[in-house]
Amino acid sequence: MSLLPERELQAVEAWFSDLKEALGVSEGADRGRVLASVRKLVADNDSYNNEKRVVTAAFAYNRWGDLYTWAKEKLVAVPEVELPEVFSEPPNGWVFRPGGDYDKAQKRLVKTRLRVKELWAYLDGVVAADLTASEWAESIKSQAVTEFVASKEAENFEKLCLAFVRNYEEEDPGEVWVEVAEEATATLELDADLPVEVVSELLSYAGEAGVEAQRKLVANYRDRRSPARCWFAFLLTAYLYQNNRPEDQDVFEVQRLFGEAAELLECYEVVKTDDATLPSHFSKRSYDPALTLKEVAEAVKKLTELKQGDLTGTRDDWREAVKAAASAVTEEKGVTTTA
């Protein structure tokens, strides 16, 4: 005899029946069998996630989605054309540059070869339709080889290929969003005036979360006097707001807040710069190497709270409050890059 009202009992029975159907067990299965199926499903899912991590790591990818996209690229139907041997290896310009990496360049080459095959198939088709175009087609192929060998990045070279094949038009850099982890890494890893551990955690976060910026912003940052500080503020904003496309005004505000929070935390000391290209009287900030992203985040959040609340507290009061907020996470183990 059930203590549940008849209507609720019927609802539970209907749900239980749906559960058995979803699990693929027989209609006559009892609760023990259903529970065992659920446990097996959970275990299989855990095993699947572990296997994904192993496969992703084996191919030197950070995210399963990136590996999956790469795999799909390899399976795309492409023209059956023979490419010159030069397209079998990434150009030196892709590898020997700030942030360059042979393995990454090799992976990117898969997509580039698809674009080259499209170009070769297009040119071969033109020649098949008009034999007098043979010399022209060969000159285009020769130019493509030259451009490939001299290229510094895959994207620009691929645009040259697409220009012949798909009536390609240059995209508006103000409308195109690109992932920034690689660009930011190339800039930040060369900078010695920022908290090392925080930078490392931000770069990991950017890669895992897929933080993006407009292409025009990427170009703008390259021309800035301190591009590393720009990227640091940009990634910190993305992390704090949990927004993969940070707004300009938010980045500006976070940059200002970080400077003030770091001063209140007293987590750095001003030292003479060791950059031989700068005058000897120039200085830089040398941060506590143990400073973490979590501590910075809490300090900035606390400072924001103080600014939005009662402004009667003294500077010392604010310093104590910000330090207390950061200290609250200091003892936490396994600091991660998730807010």
In-domain check, residue 254: yes
Amino acid at 304: T
For residues 313 and 296, membership in a common domain is answered with yes
Classify residue 172: in a domain, yes or no. Answer: no
339 within domain boundaries: no
DSSP state letter for 175: T
315 and 181 in a common domain = yes
Domain-embedded: residue 10: yes
H/E run at residue 289: none
Are residues 160 and 244 located together in one domain of the fold? Answer: no
Q: Is residue 207 part of a domain?
A: yes
Distance CA 265, CA 237 (A): 19
326 closest CA partner among 196, 206, 192, 198: 198
**Residue 225 belongs to domain spanning:** 177-327
CA gap 300, 267 in Å, rounded? 13
Write down the pLDDT at residue 282.
63
The Cα–Cα gap between 23 and 44 comes to 13
Assess if residue 336 is contained within a domain.
no
Overall domain count for the chain: 3
Are the beta carbons of 323 and 265 closer than 8 angstroms? yes
- Please answer whether residues 188 and 279 qualify as being in contact, where contact means their C-beta atoms are separated by less than 8 angstroms: no
Going residue by residue through the chain (339 aa), what tens digit of pLDDT does each one get? 455 566 666 776 777 777 777 777 677 777 777 777 778 777 777 777 777 777 777 777 777 777 666 666 555 545 578 889 999 999 998 988 777 788 888 888 988 988 898 889 888 888 888 888 888 889 889 989 999 999 988 888 888 887 777 654 455 556 678 889 988 998 888 887 899 999 999 999 999 999 999 888 888 898 888 899 999 999 999 999 999 999 999 999 999 999 999 999 999 888 876 655 445 556 778 898 889 999 999 999 999 988 887 667 788 889 999 999 999 886 554 444 444
Pair 303, 194 in one domain: yes
In terms of domains, do 109 and 142 share one?
yes
Q: Do 191 and 306 fall within a single domain?
A: yes
Residue 24 burial class via C-beta count within 10 angstroms: exposed 0-12, middle 13-18, buried 19 and up = exposed
Task: Judge whether 214 and 174 are in contact, CB under 8 Å.
Answer: yes
Q: Are residues 233 and 308 in the same domain?
A: yes
Tell whether 316 and 184 lie within a shared domain.
yes
Same domain, 263 and 314: yes
Q: What is the pTM of this model?
A: 0.50
Name the β-bridge partners of 286: 269
| 305 inside domain | yes
> 260 and 310 share a domain?
yes
Pair 208, 63: CB distance under 8 Å: yes
What pLDDT does residue 126 have? 82
- Confidence (pLDDT) at 231: 95
State which of 134, 165, 196 marks the end of a domain. Answer: 165
- The residue from 58, 80, 97 where one domain ends is 58
User: Do 254 and 310 fall into the same domain?
Assistant: yes
Quick one: pLDDT at residue 45?
73
| Residue 13 shares a structural domain with residue 29 | yes
Q: What is the pLDDT of residue 338?
A: 42
Q: Using CA atoms, how far apart are residues 198 and 208, in angstroms rounded to an integer?
A: 15
